Amino acid sequence: GNSVTQMEGPVTLSEEAFLTINCTYTATGYPSLFWYVQYPGEGLQLLLKATKADDKGSNKGFEATYRKETTSFHLEKGSVQVSDSAVYFCALRQNTGFQKLVFGTGTRLLVSP
Amino acid sequence: GAGVSQSPSNKVTEKGKDVELRCDPISGHTALYWYRQSLGQGLEFLIYFQGNSAPDKSGLPSDRFSAERTGGSVSTLTIQRTQQEDSAVYLCASSLRTSGAGGSGETQYFGPGTRLLVL
């Protein structure tokens, strides 16, 4: 079946540090890939997405590239801010048939000043 | 426009009681999803509605869980005879449609969730 694996957290960084949160997936065919973010006390928000191989999703300084050869969708940001502290979820969705989201376990990011 | 709304935001109940959780999707969205976020289980899919089609209930953990969607809009998730392991945040999401690849119509927009605590 489909699954998503994310790196364990928490990830603790100082402000302006470089961020990478690893995400790999297992799926048949060509799923769409997503990063969702959950800020403290808030609901899930879509951060970025990519729908086909080699696509790069980007938003708010975050980027992730759909790598089919390595079945990965790693999240990166060049310079994190305290306000980026949140839980980040990688997810996939099949583009045929039933299209539920399959989520990773989430990675908590803590950014200190 | 308004996003997905859910009520109540918090619910505390006693073991064995029934609870109803409500979701109001974004107006015009034909697809509606329920997920559950719990410690140790992460985010799990529960049930999905698409237009007038029969719902996909493949994610419901037991027959104590049921959901309906009236008039293609508001949805209610019902948990009967609640157990302590039902304690979780129940999330609702909606999207414009589910068919086809690419495009903003596929993006699922989430509500703030209902935090359920079963004592």
> Is a pLDDT exceeding 60 seen at residue B98?
no
Sorting pLDDT into bands at 50, 70 and 90, what band is B1?
Answer: low
* pLDDT (tens place) for every residue of chain A, 113 residues total: 889 999 888 999 999 999 999 999 999 888 999 999 999 888 899 999 999 899 999 999 999 999 999 999 999 999 999 999 999 999 998 776 667 889 999 999 999 99
- Across the interface, of A43, A49, A93, the residue whose CB is closest to B112 is A43
Residue of A nearest to B110 (CA): A44
Question: Residue B112 is encoded by which pair of tokens?
Answer: 């703030």
From the candidates A6, A100, A102, which should be mutated to test the interface with B, based on the most B CB atoms within 10 A? Answer: A100
pLDDT grade for B70, boundaries at 50, 70 and 90: confident
- Quick: pLDDT tens for B17-42: 999 999 999 998 889 999 999 877 78
Collapsing DSSP states into helix, strand and coil, what is residue B70?
A: helix
Q: How far is B14 from chain A (nearest CA, A)?
A: 24
Cα B80 to chain centroid distance, Å, stands at 15
- Give CA separation, B69 vs B23, B47, B51, B66, in Å: 9, 11, 9, 11
As a three-state string, the secondary structure of chain A is CCEEEECCCCEEEECCCCEEECEEEECCCCCEEEEEEECCCCCEEEEEEECCCCCEEEECCEEEECECCCCECCEEECCCCHHHCEEEEEEEECCCCCCCEEECCCEEEEEEC
Q: Which tokens go with A80?
A: 């994190």
Residues 6 or more apart whose Cβ sits within 8 Å of residue B17: B81, B82
Distance of CA A35 to the CA centre of its chain: 3
Contact A52, A30 (CB under 8 A): yes
> Quick count: other Cβ atoms within 10 Å of Cβ A14?
10
Count CB pairs under 8 A between chains A and B: 54
